[in-house]
Amino acid sequence: MKRYNTLLLISCLIITSCVFRTKGNNGANGKSGNEVAKAEKIEIKAIDIQKSMEYLASDELGGRATGSKGIEKAAVFIENYFKKNNIKPYFETYRDTFKLGELTGYNVVGVIEGNDPNLKNEFVILGGHYDHIGKGKEVDGDTIANGANDDASGTIAAMEFGRYFSKSKTNKRSILITLYSAEEMGLKGSAHLAKRLKEQGLDAYTMINFEMIGVPRAADKSMAYMSGYNRSNFATTLNTYAGEEVVGFFPKAKEFQLFFRSDNFPFFKELNMPAHAISTFDFTNFEYYHHVDDEADKMDYNHMASFINKMIPALEGMMNAATKEVVLSDE
């Protein structure tokens, strides 16, 4: 009888142990950690991108000029997206406020904390500008320059990266999702934010600005290109982790001085770190720059989803490397 009770006790302990183990790391009943991760796979879908685009580039927002009622609506939309997807405010609120004469501008800034106790103190900055020019030259009675490609597309890319990392929690370093106004007025919003972050002593590692990624390049070209390609090893690093050449070299980028003309430049200037703009618009594949026909129905949503999905492993690899692999170089 005593031997029987001992065997029964051992059997119960084994069963109890198995029950607890099968709950997995996340406590999901009956699922291993791998099964939980598979079940919770985060997808970047063309339909979700399109839904965001059809609001940000709608006539209701009036072209999103800095200081307008339309850009205020855009800022609220972005803030609500951040809240819904558990992207926390980096400052006291989501807004980084600045003045331009009588106008008030807002950058919208969210943060996703890294999961490594040491590396989380280093920050990767992802961004795009959510403002546009407001009105354009009239075409068939239309004067609203909706700014779908420029730069609702880059804004949405940054938002989607934020959603992915806030849910996957696969980033060892912390991430700032930074969306700027007053880019069209001379990079004023990004300049204000870069200066503020410098004054606060932010340990900023790298910055990527997504600028006009709404249309695909020709089939014989790299999917995207990076401004200031030779100023760092950023493109090489990203492509290595992506497993293919997602970000290529665009010869005309230097001729057109693109490195200095987008929101990456203030971060390079203030924080002396690798900071680049990535684009799929190469001046041959979209004719509606600063035009009233830069509208949501001109965007290629499958292309946008493909680009974002290809960039995720590239960003993860760079964000999670043990050392700061991306470094400035002499051009």
Q: What DSSP string runs through 186-203? A: TSHHHHHHHHHHHHTT--
Region of 132 (left: φ > 0; alpha: ψ -120 to 50; beta: rest) is beta
What does the pLDDT read at residue 40?
A: 59
Q: What 3-state DSSP class applies to 78?
A: helix
Strand 123-129 and strand 134-139: pairing? unpaired
User: Cα separation of 43 and 73, whole Å?
Assistant: 27
What does the pLDDT read at residue 11?
A: 44
User: Cα separation of 197 and 136, whole Å?
Assistant: 34
Tokens of 143: 């004067």
User: Cα separation of 126 and 208, whole Å?
Assistant: 5
Contacts of 210 (CB under 8 A, 6+ apart): 126, 127, 128, 151, 153, 154, 155, 157, 158, 277, 278, 279
User: Cα separation of 78 and 89, whole Å?
Assistant: 12
CB neighbour class for 200 (10 Å; exposed up to 12, middle 13-18, buried from 19): exposed
Tokens of 275: 């900071």
User: Cα separation of 69 and 63, whole Å?
Assistant: 10
What does the pLDDT read at residue 41?
A: 80
From first to last of its 331 residues, what are the pLDDT tens digits of the chain? 444 444 444 444 333 333 333 333 333 333 333 333 343 589 899 999 999 999 999 999 999 999 999 999 999 999 999 999 999 999 999 999 999 999 999 999 999 999 999 999 999 999 999 999 999 999 999 999 999 999 999 999 999 999 999 999 999 999 999 999 999 999 999 999 999 999 999 999 999 999 999 999 999 999 999 999 999 999 999 999 999 999 999 999 999 999 999 999 999 999 999 999 999 999 999 999 999 999 999 999 999 999 999 999 999 999 999 999 999 997 6
User: Cα separation of 170 and 319, whole Å?
Assistant: 9
What does the pLDDT read at residue 23?
A: 33
Query: Are 306 and 68 spatial neighbours (Cβ–Cβ below 8 Å)?
Result: no
Strand 224-226 and strand 275-279: pairing? antiparallel
Query: Are 163 and 83 spatial neighbours (Cβ–Cβ below 8 Å)?
Result: no
Q: Where are the beta strands (DSSP E) in 68-182?
A: 88-89, 95-100, 103-112, 123-129, 134-139, 142-145, 174-180
Tokens of 8: 């029964």
Beta bridge partner(s), residue 125: 176, 207
User: Cα separation of 175 and 319, whole Å?
Assistant: 9
Rounded (10°) angle between helices 153-168 and 69-84: 20
Which DSSP letter does residue 106 get? E
Domain limits of the chain? 1-41, 45-320
Number of Cα atoms under 13 Å in the Cβ half of residue 108: 27
| CATH class of domain segment(s) 45-320 | alpha beta
